[in-house]
Structure 1
């Protein structure tokens, strides 16, 4: 689908955002206003994102310029109907406006872009971090160890600071972390549950036709019956042990990096927060590692990544005065408890991560009929050359990880 400019996205919208409200003072005068699509097809799956380049003045002050992003729901099709039922944009607004400032207060770290006032309901207005030197890595190449290590340090601080926030604001944490995907009564959960089997069987067919990979097809079939019930249980808060607020969608398209002149990573920020959960931190780690870490990291550096995470998490918990700790045994146990769900991630999401832009699924065009036929919807991504080449290695690494 071609990019469409929303009718409300105009100079009046920009002025209200910069003023902090339509009736706020001092008044902002827009001198120049340009809008363009912020992401290409296949790089965002559930929203419309536009880049705003604004030149403005406040009262009699000199001209200023700023770059913003607007993030709005898709307005038609299956995704729009699902979003109407669980309203991810209101939750994400709460995360940007309330949660992230609370986390930053604990550890003096800004985990995401600044948020601005939005005059339109369910529309986010955010600082454009690209103009601050932050970049998104090329998803098909995935991330090397240096990038993965910095992500582990940053998400560990995020998790640790959320423990302190939960101590002080338990009702707030409960409100923003309600599970809406892995629940038997969830509309989006019903969609996920329905498509899991057909997609995993398609991956089995690929593996059966690869010499030496037949055993991986058998492995998937042997665990398919547990996928949904396992996910429902594993994404709940743990009855015993460490629970944190997780990002919930921690993959490389939701992670931005900033570098110094020598090419060293100096800062990491996270974007897209509609699926915040209160559960084991292992869900974020497993999701990130198997979707975004490259082959060499998965092969040789997983223990180092977990060690980096644990050291940063526990030292941050100590620094901010929280008594909770996470040891290696508990983390490994929690990671292994996700083994069935990870097979679904490998079969359904990794093909999307590794897909060519030309084969990307345009979520805004999906209809109810498309959803009833997940095989047709995912055939291009599953047949992608990069995923097909990577699949045997991923399955071998998964099998070794289970051992």
Structure 2
């Protein structure tokens, strides 16, 4: 596909101007001089091979060839567009305001933080953003890479990502504190940007998102019934599961009132985390991508989401307490480096209580998502050929498909079995999130 089919030359000029301003560290006042010395010779785009990792929209690499100060140069970018080729995913993206959220994040939130002196190195640089197209730094060209779908991270990858998540969360807290001090009144992101954080969508407009979760829950019930009968009380398991599902909105709302909230990513599975490695193969840094589901929640939601979505149960049994503590250590370092007492911003006691209160709801959200992301890519591609087949794949046909995979796919069965037994433990033994 040629670049001009997904992006215009005028847009490329704006992207390149922003890129050159950033690369040359010059001010906006010098923008006109850059444009005078720049001439685009060609631009083209290439569809990224594995589109299953980014379920909403299509992803491309954009290459712009240009002359700058009489020298021939090339710049590469990452492009996401909200395509209508999959009508259902397009409608889901519109329901959750996916591209609007990400445009806000890159177009307003990050620039505001940078104006206040926050480096924000945990995200890619942004060059262009509208409601249905976003152009970002090409992190692949900067040696960052995704580990692919459904990896099980080791302890070093977990530490580095939790360090990054802690910086992301700390900036949210520190930004509110700094603005409150400057303005002499309590500044809250929820009040500063109500169109992002407090928008209320009519219930009937949320039909597809509700259906996605409804059929995911039905599929999990089928999997519970396929577990060995001598190891689990199926009827009681399903009963407790259903009771908890109904309480989730109430628990989440109470959690937001009881505990400090920050800007959360809300979708920290492996495909939304890119890693860079040192020469000795050790993890050097990581960046977070895909901020389409940002919201305000207690930070433990991102921490647990990351742990549940990217590790195996045997690993979690050993390391969860350590990972939770390590995250808080990283958070403390960031808060106190800015001159604040972390205990006054978010105490460790409050953080522990939020873990106990929200652990089960986080686990349920993650197991629903993981039951879908574990589906092999070839099945996703096969069922994406028409709107009718995709609708059946993601909604009505999903429970039977999950049961079929559980019987025939050893990897799916192994991971979902351990996920369900972990859920069973939380439901039967701890029950910590019940008010």
Give me the TM-score of the superposition, normalised by structure 1: 0.85
Distance 1:115 1:320 in 2: 26
Alpha-carbon distance in structure 1 between the residues aligned to 2:358 and 2:255 = 14
Which structure has greater helix proportion? 2
Does structure 1 conserve the Cα–Cα contact (< 8 Å) formed by 2:44 and 2:63?
yes
What is aligned with 2:399? Answer: 375
Alignment correspondent of 1:306: 324
Counterpart in 1 of 2:17? Answer: 19
The residue aligned with 1:341 is: 361
Rate the CA distance shift 1:369–1:185 in 2: closer, same or farther, 3 A.
closer
Q: Secondary structure at the match of 2:43?
A: strand
Alpha carbons 2:79, 2:136 under 8 Å: kept: yes
Which consecutive residues of structure 1, in runs of 5 or more, have no partner in the other structure?
A: none
Indicate the SS of the match to 1:63.
Answer: strand
Q: Deviations over 1:78-120 (max 9, x none)?
A: 22223334432122111012222444555534121111125x6
Q: Tell me what 2:23 maps to.
A: none
Pick the structure with greater CA Rg: 2
What is the match of residue 221 of structure 2?
A: 201
Is 1:183–1:232's contact at 8 Å kept on the other side of the alignment?
no
> If the length of structure 2 is used for normalisation, what is the TM-score?
0.79
Distance 1:328 1:398, change over 3 A: farther
Consecutive aligned runs of 4 or more in structure 1 exceeding 6 Å deviation:
3-6, 179-185, 361-364
Partner residue of 2:184?
none
RMSD of aligned Cα (Å): 3.3
Distance 1:215 1:338, change over 3 A: farther
Q: 2:50 aligns with which of 16, 26, 40?
A: 40
Matches within 5 A, 1:242-391: 242-323=260-341, 324-360=344-380, 366-367=387-388, 369-370=391-392, 371-375=395-399, 378=402, 384-391=409-416
Higher relative contact order (CA 8 A, sep 6+): 1
Q: CA deviation at 1:365?
A: 5.3
Shift of 1:180: 6.9
CA contact (8 A) 1:113 1:269 kept: yes
**Structure 2: distance between partners of 1:279 and 1:35:** 37
Q: CA deviation at 1:233?
A: 3.6
Query: CA contact under 8 A between 2:59 and 2:81: conserved in structure 1?
Result: yes
* Equivalent of 1:110 in 104, 118, 121: 121
Structure 2 residue ranges without an equivalent (≥5)? 20-30, 180-186, 431-435
For 1:366 and 1:381, the matched residues in 2 are separated by: 22
